[in-house]
């Protein structure tokens, strides 16, 4: 594997978009921080977010376990072709960090990664795409496609705050759960949903986000919630 790099950084604050009472749900009003713009130079990464970044829905986004969203730069060529959007820019999937030479198969739950010289981040969970991704690109099935392909990205919690900048190297410092790649965690959560033993094994990882632990335990207890609201939401 080539040396991983932080290829690009994107931030954006919540804003309201759309038209009140529009006939097409895709045109109706919604509030989101999904629209991210690239940052040049260094930016401060704090415990819960990057300077200049914010989330509209603090129930399902943000907080220490989901301080920043990372996404693989390697996925973009495939999406540009399959979505017929040849100019799809970094940040198109709402990510704060676009990572070069890292994907869901290369990153594990609980990994600690160093960015540059001082910043330490830890993988807390895979990203679960929601309806706002579909609304952003006006493709109703896009959140489901991202989930099914496993090209979801992942969240970092911040262990050591500091300044980061695009082009900085990213290096693995600790890997306590090498068997639990983000790719495998996605499989258990979204594809192999009848494998309760695997769900409980994943839920038992103390460095997995509390949200994912709760969801997996609820599955074992046959109390899992319907995911259609997350995937489709206000798009119909």
Residues of the chain above pLDDT 90, percent: 83
DSSP-derived letter for residue 31 is E
Average pLDDT, the chain: 93
Coil/strand/helix, residue 37: strand
CA separation for the pair 155, 152 (Å, rounded): 10
Phi, psi of 48 (to 5 degrees): -120, -10
What is the tens place of the pLDDT at every residue in 46-60?
999 999 998 866 666
Q: What is the pTM of this model?
A: 0.92
pLDDT higher than 90, residue 224: no
Coil/strand/helix, residue 27: helix
Report how far apart, in Å, the C-alpha atoms of 100 and of each of 8, 72, 144 are: 9, 6, 24
Contact 9, 107 (CB under 8 A): no
What is the tens place of the pLDDT at every residue in 183-202?
999 999 999 999 999 999 99
Please provide the DSSP assignment of 101-123 as one string: T--TTT-BTT-EEEETTTEEEEE
CA separation for the pair 226, 149 (Å, rounded): 20
Q: Closest by alpha carbon to 235, among 84, 133, 127, 147?
A: 133
Select from 3.20.20.140, 2.60.40.1120, 2.160.10.10, 2.40.33.20 the CATH code of 5-235: 2.40.33.20
DSSP-derived letter for residue 83 is T
45 strand-pairing partners: 50, 162
- What pairing do the DSSP bridges indicate for beta strands 68-72 and 154-160? antiparallel
Q: Which residues contact 146 (CB under 8 A, 6 or more apart)?
A: 93, 129, 133, 152
Give the domain ranges of the chain: 5-235
pLDDT higher than 80, residue 163: yes
Measured at the alpha carbon of residue 74, what is the angle toward residues 26 and 34, in degrees to the nearest 5? 30
What is the tens place of the pLDDT at every residue in 77-100?
999 999 999 999 999 999 999 999
Coil/strand/helix, residue 133: helix
């Amino acid at each position: 594997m080539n040396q991983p790099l932080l290829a690009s950084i994107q931030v954006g604050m919540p804003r309201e978009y759309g038209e009140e009472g529009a006939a097409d749900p895709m045109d109706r009003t919604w509030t989101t921080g999904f629209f991210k713009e690239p940052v040049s130079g260094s930016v401060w990464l704090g415990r819960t977010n990057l300077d200049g970044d914010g989330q509209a829905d603090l129930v399902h986004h943000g907080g220490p376990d989901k301080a920043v969203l990372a996404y693989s730069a390697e996925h973009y060529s495939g999406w540009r072709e399959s979505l017929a959007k040849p100019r799809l820019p970094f940040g198109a999937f709402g990510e704060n960090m676009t990572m070069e030479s890292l994907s869901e198969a290369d990153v594990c739950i609980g990994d600690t990664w160093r960015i540059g010289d001082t910043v330490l981040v830890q993988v807390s969970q895979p990203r679960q795409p929601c309806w706002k991704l579909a609304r952003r690109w006006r493709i109703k099935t896009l959140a489901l496609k991202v989930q099914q392909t496993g090209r979801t990205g992942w969240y970092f919690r911040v262990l050591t705050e500091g300044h980061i900048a695009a082009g900085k190297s990213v290096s693995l410092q600790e890997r306590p759960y090498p068997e639990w790649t983000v790719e495998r965690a996605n499989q258990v959560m979204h594809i192999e949903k009848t494998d309760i033993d695997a769900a409980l094994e994943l839920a038992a990882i103390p460095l997995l986000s509390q949200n994912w632990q709760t969801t997996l335990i609820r599955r074992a207890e046959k109390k899992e919630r319907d995911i259609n609201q997350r995937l489709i939401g206000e798009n119909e």
